[in-house]
Structure 1
């Protein structure tokens, strides 16, 4: 139980605590400027302040705190990836997530529920066996299960959707969810308490590079000098890199999801099918969330579309036929920054003192704590942490890709 909840329960009056200080003017200079006040940017600021004593930090956000992809994901946390590099990285993130509520003294509503991924073909079964062994080797709780075990886990699941009967499943006991906006606000509150400045409605217009080194950031509220800067802007990563004068191997696609009106609890685990390109989960409020792969065309639009809605609904009904009677409440889209190998780009950029946190595609939320911790260590010490070394930008030129294609809940 978070300590704040306990203190509130024993208090005789409502605790009067301001989450964030009121807006202030930009200073003329900072040690670190972080572009993007989503989960990643705020996490980097928090870990810089708490563990490295760097508090002259400004987090710049063109809109509002946590309003980008942080507010537009389905809050899934897992570590059942394909490669040793991915499993180790996301496994450490899961470990950090488990203690965030206590670390923040703020409830992020972390709920360990497990994730079930369905196999519909012999080829998928073989791939899942290999994936389970890689996960177990690095300490993850992942195993193959048969149809009988699937029935026991999810009695309401349709195991024979006609053209794609379920043959087996990959059960990931570490699968979980957390309240995405609570994660962002938890990092923001703790960072602000330590002196970090969070500037909303502050859009970066230009990155000033002199002699191959970043020296300042020009915004709609003025220009600030900085010792270094980190970009953490998700789907707009390639746009911002272009302002610094280099290209990223990133293409941005919309990623849509939707949610029904609340119904009685029927589903505890997270259930996904790469064959049907759909995943389904039920929230603590009873809403049924479902989504799939990214749209098939590059676009910087967060609007949902009827075409994809119809496709996702059809696949969700194949998995859970009774959902045909459920009423859709809302739908939304995020903007995913996809790399050729479906792994992120973290570390140094071609510009000195300008660091990259990009290429997260559909898996950025689940990496929030470990990304913040390792990127803060890189900025503070100048040394690349071992966990993120495989995700450097140069791997695309050196043919050292970390291929995670097919490791998403609904394969792209």
Structure 2
């Protein structure tokens, strides 16, 4: 059988693309070289972002932020999808969107947040600037003395252990063929679409979606396309359960940090701290200690908290932080679903749109600015 669509990659991007394509009535096969949700999609900290990240803003500047800000409407559109996703997929995704607070560690950083907020607002994102008094009043769990922060009311969290599996479960109910432990060896245009070599066996499809995350560049090379994407090893930690304290996604401008409290009480501490590579990604205890110290500097109630688990994963990245999306111009029928760093947030809307494009339907959002 020739499939309408072959999708490479069993993370959130691949699973969600498969779901939306199957929902549209397409014959779809998903090929995963190991098992599903083992990469960044199942190993990230579960943050739902909408603000421009501060660390690259600090280093790359206002002009970079203005260019990057073109992705913000994608985040907003995806968060709208997230809000109804539990009902659509009929399952608990641990989703909550109570807001995200970016705390300024200095007066200089607060001025930078004001500049960044102006760029974000120009893209339609609501950003509320809080001064020191408002910060102390609304966030009494913070260390005293910070000059202010930026609050975005649509940010939040979801559970990365649940999202991809539920998308896949619903896609399989709609007819998805899922092939685990099936690395793609070669992709060859065959006149009617593509033939994919899966190790002495072949899969044929009219169109192909590359949703392979950190392996996307090597997959794209199989059809002669150069994708400027690389891989980074980063890590996350979770603490013991503590009484309910933190309602929001929390950031800190002084160094990389995301902090949030799960419904069961544990704190997830992340922000992109580096892990080590030893055959695969492994936790670097130095990053654990620095990440925890930063969280404790911001939230004193975390003093003495125990880390119960830390884990590392490979994430995909681009130098300018922008996604690479849509059909490859020189390879008709070959599509890219590649969203670096914050693909967990953008996954639902991007995947729905890629499925629409691959099936010749009207796209939900315009991906043209992010073409290869």
TM norm structure 1 = 0.80
Per the alignment, residue 65 of structure 1 pairs with 36
In 2, are the aligned partners of 1:40 and 1:232 still within 8 Å (CA)?
A: yes
Counterpart of 2:88 in structure 1 is 103
The CA deviation at 1:385 is: 6.0
Q: CA deviation at 1:262?
A: 1.1
Q: Give 3-state SS (helix, strand or coil) of 1:293's partner.
A: strand
Aligned to 1:250: 229
Please list, as runs of the form range in 1=range in 2, the aligned pairs for 1:397-412 lying within 5 A after superposition: none
Instruction: Give the 3-state SS of the residue equivalent to 1:261 in structure 2.
Output: strand
Count of aligned pairs: 357
Alpha-carbon distance, 1:221 to partner: 6.8
Alignment of 1:370-389 (within 5 A): 370-381=349-360, 386-389=365-368
Structure 2 unaligned residues grouped into runs of 5+: 53-64
Q: Indicate the residue corresponding to 1:31 in structure 2.
A: 4
CA deviations over 1:286-341 (Å, ceiling 9, x no partner): 11111123539999732111221222122122212342311111111221221121
2:147 corresponds to: 167
Give the Cα separation in 1 of the matches to 2:260 and 2:367. Answer: 30
* 1:154 to 2:139 alignment: yes
SS in 2 for 1:43: helix
CA contact (8 A) 1:208 1:216 kept: yes
- The 1:286–1:188 alpha-carbon spacing in structure 2 relative to 1, beyond 3 Å, is same
1:76 equivalent to 2:39? Answer: no
Contact 2:95–2:156 (Cα < 8 Å) also in 1? yes
Greater CA drift, 125-134 or 369-378:
125-134
Q: Which residue of 2 aligns with 1:126?
A: 111
Question: SS at 1:381's partner residue?
Answer: coil
Q: Residue 96 of structure 1: SS of its match in structure 2? A: helix
Whether 1:218 and 2:197 are equivalent positions in the alignment is yes
Distance 2:279 2:49 in 1: 27
TM-score when scaled to structure 2?
0.88
Task: Confirm or deny: 8 A CA contact 2:273 2:287 kept in the other structure.
Answer: no
Kept in 1: contact 2:217–2:226 (CA 8 A): yes
1:109 CA drift (Å): 2.4
Equivalent-residue separation in structure 2 for 1:58 and 1:241 (angstroms): 18
Unaligned runs of 5+ in 1: 1-27, 161-165, 394-412
User: Is 1:268 matched up with 2:247?
Assistant: yes
1:53 and 2:18 matched: no
Query: What are the equivalent positions in structure 2 for 1:351-390 lying under 5 Å apart?
Result: 351-358=331-338, 360-381=339-360, 386-390=365-369
SS at match of 1:266: coil
Q: How far is 1:247 from its partner?
A: 2.3
CA distance in 1, matches of 2:29, 2:341: 27
> Displacement of 1:255 after TM fit?
1.5
